[in-house]
Structure 1
Amino acid sequence: MEHFYVITNPMKDTGHRTACSIRDYLISHGKTCMIDIGTAKPGQEGYTYKDQVSEDVDCIIVLGGDGTLLQAAVDLAGRDIPFLGINLGTLGFLAEVNRTDVEEALGKLIHNEYVIEKRMMLLGKSYDRQGMKDKARALNDIVITRKGSLQIINFNVYVNGQLLHRYHADGMIISTPTGSTGYSLSAGGPIVEPKARLILLSPICSHSMQSRSMVLSPEDTVMVEIESTNSGEVQEVEAIFDGSHKVTLCTGDRIEIQESNKTTGIVKLSQVSFLEVLHRKMGD
């Protein structure tokens, strides 16, 4: 790798000190490096100006935590540039490098001591009566959740056009294997090897006996249709992509979710297995 681009979370990298240290190290070893300082336009999602990332960039180094890396992956989906996450937060599965190990990690990058894992992404398209209203990708998950006051959501879930179940719940998590250790896990979903290609469905606090998660093929298409309340009132819910991009859905609206044709490359420097990382992160 010769050309690097650093995306930093200014809330966690005060004064961009870690980002500047990385840039200086790489330049001193004959590489090129540019820092994105996270100055996005007002109202713009994400940290990254896509047009600043030149075509010759070999690797994007993300400083912050899993959330920062997730946003960067969606911002730059389709560019086919791998990401290395450096964890400046607490618990992280995507950002595997700790703050104290940055120089060692950079040395491995320079000497090509790494592998790149391809992670599947989801594509969600939401529709109202006029047609498609929004389209976005997610590396971790797409969460259908209530908006505003506390309420039970009534929604139908279809798989490949066939009704799976009518849910009365607080929501639904549609997750990738990468996202299986996130919100899906908190909702009782299974932990999945992140390189796998699967779609996970995990209801949130289902008000019925049908509360178990389901594992689907990556070729399947999931459709969630919003119903009215039990009293016939219009429901308003949100579809949230990787915790950031939000789309409002009302009664009669639907969202279709399937595997994206784009993937995210994650740079892995350690020979430690996913199971060992899981043991370290989650305790005995």
Structure 2
Amino acid sequence: MAQHGRQLDERVNDISSTRHILVVSHTGRPDSIDAALEVCGLLGDAGVVPVLPRDEWDDIRRAQPTAAIDDVEILFDGVACDDLECVIVLGGDGTILRAAELIRGTRAPIVGVNLGHVGFLAESERDEMADTVARVLAADYEVEERFALDVKVTNGDEVVYETWAMNEATVEKASRERMLEVVIEVDGRPLSSFGCDGVVMSTPTGSTAYSFSAGGPVVWPAVQALLLVPLSAHALFARPLVVGPDSVLAVEVLSRTDARGILWCDGRREHDLPPGARVECSRSDQPVRLARLRTGPFTDRLVAKFQLPVTGWRGPAPVEDAPAESGTSTSPTVAAAEGDR
């Protein structure tokens, strides 16, 4: 579902007369710190208050003690997530996932400037950063909602852990030497059990991430679905599955062996899985909101981000005009032939 960015103006005015925009970057890289300082400067020059996470503010101060960040606000220190108009992310997809975790549950959209490699979720590149900031300041973007996963771990009748995922929740073997024995389940019914290295449960957004590397299908963002992709499974029936968006996927670590698993969500949050533990994934009611500067087809994004070869493509054949009501043809070939008579 897409919404125009200008709809945010009324919400911002209701919250405060001051606009706040969060800047999230990969402060372990000098070029990312430089980019963050540049964006903060552009926001400040426009009368918008730049906001940084506390750890990133500290990292920038250590890396560049003379950096002009005294007027930058600190997230959760006087500025709440609900005060944010938008989030500008400088980095790759991992940094975007971290930003989504920071503002979970708010309506602030995320726009990414790629400083990484593929940067599939990013909207622009480093040389387009100033223009991206200008578009954000003008609220000149569309907001696209991507659904996320609610993830629950149970052991017996007890819920022992709850979290969420934007891309995927992955059950993996904890020991390199031991295969993980699991049973997979869809909508409360067992489907198959097998030994494997793990199982990926993914959203359409995550279909170009870990699921893609594991041989899962690429799912267009407009498709509402959940994916389940086994990892190196020893079974005849262990193919990627695509199920409805309201389905509930589950993976249980079988207790017939003492092999332990580990749950990873977006590669950021982990939880140990002893034998008998069960991981359940369902569609979350809290989507992630992405600010889109380009409205082209998803196919073009795939081609550009993965540098897919399309040399030789000529496009679809021209569509001929429909025949006239009188029954005479308006085909160019027929018309030319009739003109020769």
Query: Structure 2 length as normaliser, TM-score?
Result: 0.76
Instruction: Tell me the distance in 2 between the aligned counterparts of 1:40 and 1:152.
Output: 43
1:34 aligns with 51
Q: Which residue, 84, 89, 100 being the options, matches 1:62?
A: 89
| Percent of aligned pairs sharing the same letter | 29
1:155 aligns with 182
1:11-160 aligned within 5 A: 11-14=28-31, 16-36=33-53, 38-39=55-56, 52-129=79-156, 131-160=158-187
Shift of 1:157: 1.0
Deviations 1:228-256 (A, max 9, x none): 3xxx4312101100001001111111111
Question: Is 2:259 the counterpart of 1:235?
Answer: yes
Shift of 1:66: 0.3
Instruction: Tell me the distance in 2 between the aligned counterparts of 1:275 and 1:202.
Output: 22
Contact conserved, 2:24 with 2:88, CA < 8 A, in 1? yes
Instruction: Tell me the distance in 2 between the aligned counterparts of 1:87 and 1:278.
Output: 15
Label 1:97 to 1:164 Cα distance change in 2 as closer, same or farther (>3 A).
Answer: same
Structure 1 residue ranges without an equivalent (≥5): 42-47
1:113-262 aligned within 5 A: 113-129=140-156, 131-228=158-255, 232-262=256-286
Instruction: Tell me the distance in 2 between the aligned counterparts of 1:15 and 1:182.
Output: 23
Counterpart of 1:269, as a letter, is L
Question: Is 2:269 the counterpart of 1:264?
Answer: no
Which structure is higher in RCO with an 8 Å CA cutoff and minimum separation 6? 1
Greater shift in the superposed pair: 156-165 or 128-137: 128-137
Shift of 1:130: 6.1
Label 1:246 to 1:103 Cα distance change in 2 as closer, same or farther (>3 A).
Answer: same
Deviations 1:117-161 (A, max 9, x none): 000000111011361111111000001111123322111111111
In our comparison, the structure showing a higher alpha carbon Rg is: 2
Instruction: Tell me the distance in 1 between the aligned counterparts of 2:215 and 2:81.
Output: 41
Contact conserved, 2:227 with 2:242, CA < 8 A, in 1? yes
Contact conserved, 1:172 with 1:204, CA < 8 A, in 2? yes
Counterpart of 2:226, as a letter, is I
Contact conserved, 1:178 with 1:195, CA < 8 A, in 2? no
Aligned residue-pair number: 275
Deviations 1:79-136 (A, max 9, x none): 1211111111111111222111101111212223210100000011101136111111
Q: Name the structure where helix makes up a greater proportion of residues.
A: 2
1:44 aligns with none
Instruction: Tell me the distance in 2 between the aligned counterparts of 1:37 and 1:195.
Output: 35
Counterpart of 1:241, as a letter, is C
1:45 aligns with none
